[in-house]
Amino acid sequence: MPKKDNSTFNQKVILRKRALLRLGILRPIVMETHGGEGRIWETCYAHLHRGVVFEKDSDRADLLARQRPTWAVYEADSELALADGVGAHVTVDLLDVDPYGSSWETIEAFFISERPFAPKMVVAVNDGLRESLEMAQGWKTKSLQPVIDRHGNNLYPIYLEVCRELMEIHTAKAAYQVESFAGYYCGIRGKMCHFLAVLCR
């Protein structure tokens, strides 16, 4: 398993607080696809009574369940669970995606699933796929196939542009349009990517 770059925690927090502001909802429903040790929840979402979180590590899932007893907590692989519609008992306003590497499999699983979708929602993402693109390995990555033909294999310098395109492709499956998109490179040698997308139906 690749080592997670935790040097960007403060930037993650700022991005998620900005996401909450963009929603402008008093009590939004948040879905965290990778709950980890719950630090983002403690800093950004602890005031919210309802939400959904996934974590496939058993000990961490148990921690998250004790941390937030009013949330739905699933010990599961979020990609598989989302594709099966897990968490569809609520309408998600803010999708928080923070995997170890590529975010696209998780994002796609959410938007192709059978669930209610809000008229407006925000997606906040921490993505680690750019690291593998430094060596021009995009052609090996299934999640990048929709953009390889258009941009070629050297996606490293234009990865944020690629991220917007992929968001448009995946969210269109749930009848969303990307109203706004902003992101930046961060982490060790800029190999991580954070971005925020506001979606409207």
* Reported pTM: 0.94
Structurally, at CATH architecture level, domain 9-200 sits in: 3-Layer(aba) Sandwich (3.40)
4: left (phi over 0), alpha (psi -120 to 50) or beta: beta
Q: How many whole angstroms separate alpha carbon 31 and alpha carbon 55?
A: 12
pLDDT in tens, 34-71: 999 999 999 999 999 999 999 999 999 999 999 999 99
pLDDT in tens, 90-111: 999 999 999 988 999 999 999 9
What kind and span of H or E run contains 186?
strand 177-186
Neighbours of 185 (CB within 10 A): 14
Neighbours of 122 (CB within 10 A): 27
Q: How confident is the model at residue 162 (pLDDT cuts 50, 70, 90)?
A: very high
Average pLDDT over residues 131-142: 78
pLDDT at 135: 74
DSSP code for 59: H
Write down the mean pLDDT value for the chain.
93
What kind and span of H or E run contains 72?
strand 72-74
